[in-house]
Structure 1
Amino acid sequence: MYQILKSISFCYGHRLLKYQGPCANLHGHNARAEITLASEQLDERGMVMDFGDIKSVIKTWIDDNLDHTMLLCKDDPLVAVLTDNQEKFYLMDKNPTAENIAELIFNYAEQQNFPVESVTLWESDTSFARFLR
């Protein structure tokens, strides 16, 4: 089995609903997503996938949708306020935890037919969440 990993850095804001503690308040993170792709065979170039292809598809999607954006649960009452003020936000079906953001990126990569094995989201230098199937 061959694996490659592409690291993509981005910044986002969020808050967690139904949470007791400081993360219930609006705050931000300098995050790093590590996308791991795997294949039992290499392509005709000797690659699992070209890193440039990962960058042009997944990094572009992260930059357009998540970078410098408030990630909010669809049930968050702030959605109306941000909409009224024409602020950028990204709605998630689930609470925007590191675990759920990792799953969001994994699902996008999978929808693009990437042989994604896992996505690790580093929320800080010392804390990460990983989604894999």
Structure 2
Amino acid sequence: MSKIRITKQFSFETGHALYGYDGKCRNVHGHSYKLSVTVIGTPITDTSHVKLGMVIDFGDLKKIVKEDIEDVFDHATVFNKNTPHIELAKELEKRGHNVILVDYQPTSENMVIDFAKKITSRLPEGITLFSLKLQETETSFAEWYASDNK
């Protein structure tokens, strides 16, 4: 049976700031992120299986990404916890803001690496993460490919 790639797209609003950066992105700001998740696998051929013909149910893929990424990052502000931004993060949290502290500079490049790890750990056997595309603006995005990370 042929290997098939399927893609599901997601969107979420997230704020961040890049500590030590020499441009405007050192300031707290936000993006309307678009995430494309592509997995690869073989369609189910068991005629008694309720998901006959599917690589993975789009709903199952949606559940993984929604729980680990969309629901976590949507309307949150992301800071590198290893920078002085930790003080700002604590103040925002005290005021009821949703803050995520990560071990990396929250660039699209690093976020897509983080997302790849999260999604890969939850995929069922026989399904592989093929690629991710995290679009930060209309013209800027970061891509992650499994083939580049072996």
Note if contact 1:82-1:88 (Cα within 8 Å) is conserved in structure 2. Answer: no
Structure 1 position 58 matched with structure 2 position 65: yes
Q: Which runs of 5+ in 2 are unaligned?
A: 47-51
Note if contact 1:72-1:96 (Cα within 8 Å) is conserved in structure 2. Answer: yes
Structure 1 SS opposite 2:137:
coil
Cα deviation 1:14-60 (Å, max 9, x = unaligned): 01123110011111000001011011x21241111111011112123
Instruction: Report what 1:108 is aligned to.
Output: 118
Question: Residue 101 of structure 1 aligns to which amino acid in structure 2?
Answer: M
Structure 1 position 28 matched with structure 2 position 30: yes
Match of 1:123 among 116, 136, 144: 136
Structure 1 SS opposite 2:88:
helix
Structure 1 stretch displaced more, 87-96 or 77-86: 77-86
Note if contact 2:11-2:70 (Cα within 8 Å) is conserved in structure 1. Answer: no
Instruction: Report what 2:5 is aligned to.
Output: 3
> Segments of 4+ in structure 1 off by > 3 A?
none
Q: Which runs of 5+ in 1 are unaligned?
A: none
Please give the root-mean-square deviation of Cα atoms over the aligned residues, in Å.
1.5
TM-score, structure 2 as length reference: 0.81
Note if contact 2:68-2:119 (Cα within 8 Å) is conserved in structure 1. Answer: no
TM-score, structure 1 as length reference: 0.91
Q: What is the CA–CA distance in structure 1 between the aligned matches of 2:92 and 2:141, rounded to whole Å?
A: 32
- Pairs aligned (count): 132
Structure 1 position 93 matched with structure 2 position 103: yes
